[in-house]
């Protein structure tokens, strides 16, 4: 019970502790003029209503009365119509944030009376000290209609002279819980140290790989990408102006959502990427957002020259490492290895030519059903014929080996202005479950269009691919930088059919999701001024799985999900 009380009345302090744990060495110094971060907690009236909805959606509505009764008791004295928050300050020369939280109050004495039931309350002249069971001290001081909370008395000198909720910006109206980091308010010495720590971790991983002869090619390949990754990380750390993350429960849309916003400084690499993508355009692969699938993805972005240059350098230096890895782990002849190396170089050239055109446009889809697993994708390419030639060259070079595995059929068919090449193999006889899952044969299809290169694989991938091609010609999908959707019902249903469990849990979950029809997890990338936002929405039908799992686990094994 003490933990419940502490969470309800001092959530802001808990947030401070979480942030403090990220750092290690305290020091005293002059405060920066603005907070380095703020944490926002929406007004309790709205939050508790959202929690009620969440409990209902999870199938535990009968518990609402008990939860409401407990919470109401411990909120005496708190103004539940206004938000709470935490302000964190970073000082030059210190690695530890200083924090002060605030809670709107109607009567602080009522709140202190509640706290006295599980902690020692010492009311002083300037502030009140709360001593918890584990000996921690929490200091509380009322100024106006807010109670300010900290673990350091000197933080009360930093109580803002404006309504503290104004420092939270729009976060309390958008999210139940959220935080915003102001990157340029973090001393550069700490940003430099963060980069150094990440660099050291990278170096240790590479050193470990380089000491293992079996992983020499892998280590070389990773080293090729190391500097590019570090440059991107350094840009992100040094050039981030704001980073926000928030979570919201929305009864109107019946979703649980999380959102991340990242804003770069003026003229930063991030700002340049955002400027190049401020007006999203419709993908030519919008038709890959097919109904009755398990996963779909559409992405169309403009590429800035800095990214083209980085990937060009990585590609040119990485081919040798990839070929070396193939040589070490396979029994290819010198002629076959030479063919692979040429194919890698040709593919790299074709991809880089596409990047230099400045647009990355792609679509992808997966469908899951027992015995009918398929995936298909497509991307814009400057010269699709180069991809086609690579496929033909490899088919000719490895004709004998491919014949042992299956059949190769070049120009196997066409759809509209797309030519198909198909490779068919028998599904490896590893287990009956694998054959049941994917079918007796697997087809791999390469499609070549005027400006598109397609690929597909599965038991009947051409059907999926042609539907996506047709849909792309007529789709009304909106313009977007990136939209990804996972439908959880077909995923659960697929695994329930190929791998039944003793509890019948997977089957019951699949039935529940199919009946409710709210099983979608969606991710969308949007442009902002100098940055981007990523939003993830989970439909509330997935919450019903909590009750299903609880009931299934309560049954004896072998009950088959009969509740």
pLDDT of 514-533, one tens digit each? 777 788 899 999 999 999 99
Question: 33 and 174 share a domain?
Answer: yes
Q: pLDDT digit string (tens) for 98-110?
A: 999 999 998 888 8
Mean pLDDT, range 299-325, rounded to an integer: 80
Measuring CA to CA, which residue among 37, 286, 328, 39 is closest to residue 183?
37
Last residue of a domain, one of 155, 183, 211: 183
Confidence of residue 21 (pLDDT cuts 50, 70, 90): very low
pTM exceeding the 0.85 threshold for the entire prediction:
no
Distance from first CA to last CA of the chain, Å, rounded?
33
Report percent pLDDT > 90 for the chain.
43
Q: pLDDT digit string (tens) for 331-352?
A: 788 888 888 888 988 988 898 8
Confidence of residue 257 (pLDDT cuts 50, 70, 90): very high
Residue 292 lies in a domain: no
Question: 23 and 169 share a domain?
Answer: yes
For the ranges 264-268, 309-313, 491-495, the maximum mean pLDDT occurs at 264-268
For position 6, what pLDDT does the model report? 34
Q: Is residue 87 within 8 Å of residue 121, measured between CB atoms?
A: no
Last residue of a domain, one of 470, 485, 503: 470
Residue 347 lies in a domain: yes
Mean pLDDT, range 428-441, rounded to an integer: 72
- For 226-230, 398-402, 522-526, which range has the lowest pLDDT when averaged over its residues? 226-230
Residue 115 lies in a domain: yes
In total, how many domains does the chain have? 2
Is a pLDDT exceeding 80 seen at residue 479? yes
Last residue of a domain, one of 470, 499, 523: 470
Q: How far is CA 321 from CA 325, 338, 397, in A?
A: 6, 14, 22
Q: Please classify residue 479 by burial: count the beta carbons closer than 10 Å to its beta carbon, then call 0-12 exposed, 13-18 middle and 19+ buried.
A: exposed
Which residues form the domain of 416? 303-470
Q: Is residue 408 within 8 Å of residue 446, measured between CB atoms?
A: no
Confidence of residue 5 (pLDDT cuts 50, 70, 90): very low
Residue 481 lies in a domain: no
Question: 319 and 172 share a domain?
Answer: no
State the average pLDDT for the chain: 83
Name the 3-class secondary structure at 26. Answer: coil
- For 111-115, 156-160, 244-248, 262-266, which range has the lowest pLDDT when averaged over its residues? 111-115
Measuring CA to CA, which residue among 137, 134, 141 is closest to residue 2?
134
Residue 280 lies in a domain: no
Residue 452 lies in a domain: yes
Q: Is residue 435 within 8 Å of residue 370, measured between CB atoms?
A: no
Residue 34 lies in a domain: yes
Pairing label, strands 418-426, 406-415: antiparallel
For the ranges 46-55, 132-141, 177-186, 231-240, the maximum mean pLDDT occurs at 177-186
Q: pLDDT digit string (tens) for 338-392?
A: 888 889 889 888 988 999 999 999 999 999 987 789 999 999 999 999 999 999 9
Give dist(CA 482, CA 301) in Å, integer.
8
For position 42, what pLDDT does the model report? 95
Q: Which residue has the higher pLDDT, 364 or 216?
A: 364
Give dist(CA 110, CA 402) in Å, integer.
79
Name the 3-class secondary structure at 349. Answer: helix
Beta strands in 132-204 (DSSP E): 137-143, 146-150, 177-182
Rg (CA), the chain: 29
Q: Which residue has the tokens 């909590």?
A: 546
Confidence of residue 549 (pLDDT cuts 50, 70, 90): low
Residue 499 lies in a domain: no
Tokens at residue 82, please? 């206004």
- For 10-19, 57-66, 319-328, 437-446, which range has the lowest pLDDT when averaged over its residues? 10-19
């Amino acid at each position: 019970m003490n933990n419940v009380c502490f969470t309800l009345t001092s959530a802001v302090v808990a947030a401070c502790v979480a942030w403090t744990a990220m750092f290690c060495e305290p020091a005293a110094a002059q405060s920066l003029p603005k907070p380095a971060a703020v944490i926002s907690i929406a007004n309790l009236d709205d939050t508790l209503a959202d929690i009620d909805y969440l409990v209902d959606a999870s199938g535990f509505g009968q518990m609402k009365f008990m939860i409401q009764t407990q919470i109401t008791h411990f909120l005496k004295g708190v103004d539940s119509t206004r938000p709470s928050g935490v302000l964190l300050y970073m000082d030059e020369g210190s690695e530890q944030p200083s924090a002060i939280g605030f809670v709107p109050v109607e009567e602080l004495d009522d709140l202190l009376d509640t706290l006295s039931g599980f902690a020692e309350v010492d009311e002083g002249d300037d502030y009140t000290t709360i001593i918890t069971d584990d000996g921690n001290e929490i200091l509380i001081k009322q100024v106006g209609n807010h109670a300010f909370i900290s673990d350091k008395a000197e933080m009360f000198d930093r109580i803002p002279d404006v309504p503290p909720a104004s420092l939270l910006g729009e976060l309390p109206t958008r999210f139940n819980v959220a935080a915003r980091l102001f990157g340029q308010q973090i001393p550069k010495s700490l940003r430099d140290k963060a980069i150094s720590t990440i660099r050291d971790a990278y170096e240790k991983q590479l050193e470990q790989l380089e000491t293992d002869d079996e992983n020499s090619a892998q280590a070389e390949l990773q080293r090729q990408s190391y500097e590019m990754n570090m440059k991107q990380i350094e840009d992100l750390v040094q050039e981030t102006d704001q980073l926000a993350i928030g979570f919201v429960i929305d009864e109107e849309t019946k979703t649980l959502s999380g959102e991340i916003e990242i804003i770069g400084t003026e003229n930063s690499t991030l700002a340049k990427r955002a400027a190049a993508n401020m007006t999203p355009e419709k993908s030519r692969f919008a038709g890959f957002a097919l109904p009755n699938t398990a996963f779909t993805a559409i992405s169309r972005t403009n590429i800035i020259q800095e990214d083209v240059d980085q990937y060009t350098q990585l590609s040119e230096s990485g081919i040798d490492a990839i070929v070396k890895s193939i040589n070490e782990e396979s029994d290819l002849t010198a002629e076959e290895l030479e063919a692979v190396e040429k194919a890698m170089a040709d593919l790299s050239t074709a991809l880089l030519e596409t990047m230099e055109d400045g647009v990355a446009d792609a679509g992808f889809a997966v469908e899951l059903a027992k015995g009918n697993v398929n995936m298909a994708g497509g991307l814009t390419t400057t010269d699709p014929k180069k991809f086609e030639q690579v496929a033909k060259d490899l088919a000719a070079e490895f004709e004998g080996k491919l014949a042992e595995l299956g059949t190769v059929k070049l120009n196997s068919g066409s759809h509209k202005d797309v030519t198909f090449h198909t490779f068919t193999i028998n599904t490896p006889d590893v287990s009956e479950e694998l054959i049941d899952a994917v079918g007796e044969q697997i087809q791999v299809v390469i499609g070549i269009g005027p400006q598109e290169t397609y690929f597909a694989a599965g038991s009947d991938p051409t059907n999926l691919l042609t539907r996506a091609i047709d849909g792309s010609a007529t789709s009304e999908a909106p313009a977007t930088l990136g939209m990804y959707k996972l439908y959880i019902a077909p995923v659960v249903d697929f695994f329930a059919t190929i791998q039944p469990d003793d509890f019948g849990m997977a089957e019951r979950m699949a039935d529940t999701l199919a009946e409710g029809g709210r099983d979608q997890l969606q991710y969308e990338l949007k442009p902002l001024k100098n940055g981007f936002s990523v939003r993830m929405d989970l439909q509330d039908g997935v919450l019903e799985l909590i009750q299903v799992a609880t009931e299934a686990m309560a049954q004896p094994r072998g009950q088959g999900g009969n509740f």
